[in-house]
Amino acid sequence: MAAKVKLENEAAQSTNALGPLIGVAREDFVSAVALLLRETASDPARLVRHSTAIAQDMVKIMTGKSDLAPDPKDKRFMDPAWAYNPFFRAGAQYYLAVQKGMKNWLEELELDELERNRANFIANIILDGLAPTNSLVGNPTAQKQIINSGGLSLIKGLQNAYNDMVHNKGMVSQVDKRPFTVGKNVACSKGNVIYRDEIMELVQYAPATDTVYAVPQLTIPPQINKMYINDLSPDKSVIKWQVENGIQSFVISWRNPTKEMGHWGMDDYIAACEKALAVVADITGSKKVNVSAGCSGGQTAAVLASKLAATNNPILGALTLMVCVLHPKPTDIEAGSLVSENGMQLARQRAMKAGVIKADDLARGFAWLRPNDLIWNYVINNYLLGQDPPAFDVLFWNADATNLSSSLMGDFLTLFETLAFTKQGEVEMAGHKIDLSKVTADLFILGGVTDHITPWKATYRSTQLFGSKDVTYVLSQSGHMQAILNPPGNPKAKYFVQSKKGKLPATADDWLAGVEEVKGSWWPLWTEWLQKRSGEKTAAPASLGSAAYPAMEAAPGLYVVEEV
């Protein structure tokens, strides 16, 4: 169980996501480093003072008088050799002395909050790379592994490195993909594609009950990952849970765009969503369709909701937004501090020239924004210890990423730059001016306590943007995708919800002061909320699709396995 929890936590850290970070250009890194160098040169006396302090720590280390010790929770230094072997203890202390000196120096620099976040972020990347555990010479666990395996771990590590160079474009593998096959042990709920066009497939899932609720639900997935995160495995499938509770479930499957499809922008994706709604309504005979979306799919759903309100289209029922930020701030996450206006413009220009941002380039960029979790952790495991990366379904799904069209990237950056969702009719996109105050659908919004990609307090701001009178906010205990994939059965699961009914407070801190902790998964709460907004029960359809939209290939369809 402990190993599984550890894997789930790592998976939560590994998830790629769309957001302002797609606008980080390499020049932003250079300017952040230049800021550090400029501040260093601005006060020579300060530099001398901190250099002297580090030198004093070094003398203590050499004379065996240093009391520097790693954080007990730092998994890099768990091996007993770091405490008892003089060579390794000194190596750890040298690293900690540099870390301590860097921290003290940064605290004294005269920086505003944004600059300080930028400086801390760059400094942490540098320090993570300097850790002694990243090399064979400085890693006692890896050295023991060589001895215990008779040298086989070293050979296996070299093989893993070679395979990554040849088959993974030089990036260290985060997952062992061999145990997983899409449609067999992941994405295996029964259903069929019932509509297909150039940009999407629409999948209808088979009911698992004799009666179903009349109002169906359409799920809009992120454009950067495959749709089967909603049907990952039988024990953590949102789709399976929904159909077992009488919800008629439909999911969009976005096509992985090639260079020739780089012109697809938000207007194309919104038009596809409108078509999906119309098809779902036609098949089910319902005048309303509930919508659920997460991450960048949530931003897409917000634009869709605004467009439907602007065109007086009454088809939208209840709206669920999961781990999605509509009102970002530069200080939400340290990496966000790197984003600059010039950097976003450069990122746009490069993307337009290429047509699409390749999936592996996106993954590489995100990995280097969190190198300790997403690079060095796997370098140690795969290369130094000679072990296979973990075989875990969430990591498999995350590695099965898609390209991002340059036009859509530009639209997402526009939403970020202009704070479009916080304005009322000022920013035009997808053929209308965005105004969430006109959206009156009942809202269910989910955040994750340890979400570093869409921090929960940032997701909470969405509660204040809509014209909805009925808004529920739930805080799940986990991080990003694990906040969503939190089915019943986990004894450690819990969530937080407002203890008293009524209008939600204006700020996340005020909301937190009036919440109650509930043991268990939030899925039953959401299901009950959704069922109340899904109309009366009716007989489950005997077959999927309709005469106008006949059932085609079995779920999860062709687009999720299409080679690009």
So what's the pLDDT on residue 78? 93
> What is d(CA 311, CA 433) in angstroms, rounded to the nearest whole number?
11
So what's the pLDDT on residue 25? 57
Instruction: Note whether residue 206 is domain-resident.
Output: yes
254: phi then psi, degrees, rounded to nearest 5? -75, 145
Instruction: Note whether residue 131 is domain-resident.
Output: no
* Domains of the chain: total: 1
| Catalytic site residue from 188, 273, 295, 324 | 295
Torsion of CA 467, 471, 475, 476, to 10 degrees: -110
So what's the pLDDT on residue 343? 66
- Helix H or strand E encompassing 36: helix 26-42
Cβ partners under 8 Å of residue 186, min gap 6: 180, 228, 231, 232, 233, 393, 396, 397
So what's the pLDDT on residue 196? 98
Instruction: Note whether residue 38 is domain-resident.
Output: no
Kindly report each contact of residues 64-68 with a partner whose C-beta sits within 8 Å and lies 24 or more positions away, as own/partner: 66/93, 66/97, 68/92, 68/93, 68/96, 68/97, 68/100
219: phi then psi, degrees, rounded to nearest 5? -100, 130
Instruction: Note whether residue 138 is domain-resident.
Output: no
Q: Which pair of tokens denotes residue 402? A: 């898609």
> What is d(CA 218, CA 287) in angstroms, rounded to the nearest whole number?
13
Residue 402 CB neighbour total at 10 angstroms: 24
Identity of the residue numbered 512: L
Predicted structure pTM score:
0.87
Instruction: Note whether residue 258 is domain-resident.
Output: yes
So what's the pLDDT on residue 340? 64
Helices assigned H by DSSP within 325-444? 341-354, 359-369, 371, 377-378, 393-399, 406-418
Instruction: Note whether residue 103 is domain-resident.
Output: no
Per-residue pLDDT of the chain (564 residues; tens, 9 = 90+): 444 444 444 444 445 444 445 555 555 666 666 666 676 666 677 777 878 888 898 999 999 999 999 999 899 999 999 999 999 999 999 999 999 988 888 888 777 777 777 778 788 888 899 999 999 999 999 999 999 999 999 999 999 999 999 988 888 998 999 999 999 999 999 999 999 999 999 999 999 999 999 999 999 999 988 999 999 999 899 999 999 999 999 999 999 999 999 999 999 999 999 999 999 999 999 999 999 999 999 999 999 999 999 999 999 999 999 999 999 887 776 666 566 666 667 777 777 887 888 888 777 777 776 778 888 999 999 999 999 999 989 889 988 888 999 999 889 989 988 999 999 999 999 999 999 999 999 999 999 988 888 889 999 999 999 999 999 999 998 877 788 888 998 888 999 999 888 889 999 999 999 999 999 999 999 999 999 999 999 999 999 999 999 999 999 999 999 987
Among this protein's residues, is 324 annotated catalytic?
A: no
> What is d(CA 229, CA 401) in angstroms, rounded to the nearest whole number?
11
Instruction: Note whether residue 459 is domain-resident.
Output: yes
Helices assigned H by DSSP within 44-84? 44-62, 81-84
344: domain CATH number is: 3.40.50.1820
So what's the pLDDT on residue 375? 86
Instruction: Note whether residue 62 is domain-resident.
Output: no
> What is d(CA 296, CA 293) in angstroms, rounded to the nearest whole number?
8
So what's the pLDDT on residue 479? 78
What domain range is 451 assigned to? 191-539
Contact 252, 227 (CB under 8 A): yes
Strand-pairing partners, residue 444, are: 320, 472
So what's the pLDDT on residue 116? 77
> What is d(CA 116, CA 109) in angstroms, rounded to the nearest whole number?
8
So what's the pLDDT on residue 3? 44
So what's the pLDDT on residue 27? 59
